[in-house]
Amino acid sequence: MKLYTFSSGSKGNAALICEGGTYILIDAGISLKRIKDALLNTVCVSPGQLAAVLITHEHSDHIAAVPMLHKYFPAVPVYATGGTSRGLYSPCLDVTPGVPFEIGTLRVSAFETPHDTAQSCGYRVSDGYRSFSLLTDLGHITSGVRNAVLGSDTVLLECNHDLDMLWSGPYPYYLQTRVAGDYGHLNNNDAANFALELAQSGTQRLILGHLSQENNTPERALYAVQSKLNGGINVSCAGLTVSEPIEI
């Protein structure tokens, strides 16, 4: 399997998992044009060749292109939990967290995440040998998240904010408390603690994602996680541009 991150952050999120001829887009929070360009430049396919689009939740930085995908590529199935589907106003195939399903050559399982939406989720994708988990937009690590993600070979893990930057930054107080809350976003320290659990479970690569441009920096996120891990695992940051291919 290969992973490409097309964009990761508060301005838009989209990632591509591919294996053989199966292409799965996880979130579509950037413009359809950017998705088309990214697909062409990375794997030389069009959006119409996607096997599926998996949506984590209904916030705009994860669904911006969904209406245009439905309009111009109606044959591409969009998957979401029932709660997320009701907020999309677009036809979706229902995903039940904890119940795996097949898309082409890949096996997908969703797991619920604690976020201030109707029914947000993350995804674990496997080709039968290797597995990748995407875990963003959650305020804390639950036992369900832990059970779903531990043992993944590669994980895209939210490292949204540095607490000092958040509390001294430009956000109004209500937004600071929302971001830092149990149903907001994962901070660097909590991400680092879970990164250690992941490493101990066998995870070999971490991509830190959904970094806030106002309340974090790649340097702070990397320092927090690498200091906790003390080596032994590949750690990088996803940004707002298309990544190089990442082997799962």
How is the chain classified by DSSP, letter by letter?
-EEEEEE-STT--EEEEEETTEEEEE---S-HHHHHHHHHHHHS--GGG-SEEE----SHHHHTTHHHHHHH-TTS-EEEEHHHHHHHTS--EEE-TT--EEETTEEEEEEE---SSSS-EEEEEE-SS-EEEEE-S-SS--HHHHHHHTT-SEEEEE--B-HHHHHHSSS-HHHHHHHHSTTS--BHHHHHHHHHHHHHHT--EEEEE---TTT--HHHHHHHHHHHH-SSSEEEE--SSPPPPEE-
Give the Cα separation of 97 and 95 in Å (integer): 6
Residue 232's pLDDT is 82
**pLDDT tens digits along 81-103:** 999 998 887 789 999 999 999 99
Question: Tens-of-pLDDT digits for all 248 residues of the chain?
Answer: 999 999 999 999 999 999 999 999 999 999 999 999 999 999 999 999 999 999 999 999 999 999 999 999 999 999 999 999 988 877 899 999 999 999 999 999 999 999 999 999 999 999 999 999 999 999 999 999 999 999 999 999 999 999 999 999 999 999 999 999 999 999 999 999 999 999 999 999 999 999 999 999 999 999 999 999 988 899 999 999 999 999 99
pTM for the structure as a whole: 0.96
Q: Can you tell me the distance from the alpha carbon of 220 to that of 79, in angstroms, rounded to the nearest whole number?
A: 34
Q: Scanning the structure block, which residue is given the tokens 């797991």?
A: 111
Q: Which residue segments constitute the domains of the chain, with CATH numbers given?
A: 2-247 (3.60.15.10)
pLDDT tens for 23-32 read 999 999 999 9
DSSP string, 144-211: HHHHHHTT-SEEEEE--B-HHHHHHSSS-HHHHHHHHSTTS--BHHHHHHHHHHHHHHT--EEEEE--
Cα-to-chain-centroid distance, residue 23:
16
The answer to whether 65 touches 78, Cβ cutoff 8 Å, is no
> How many whole angstroms separate alpha carbon 117 and alpha carbon 58?
7
Q: What is the pLDDT of residue 90?
A: 79
Residue of 154, 155, 87, 79 whose CA lies nearest to 115: 87
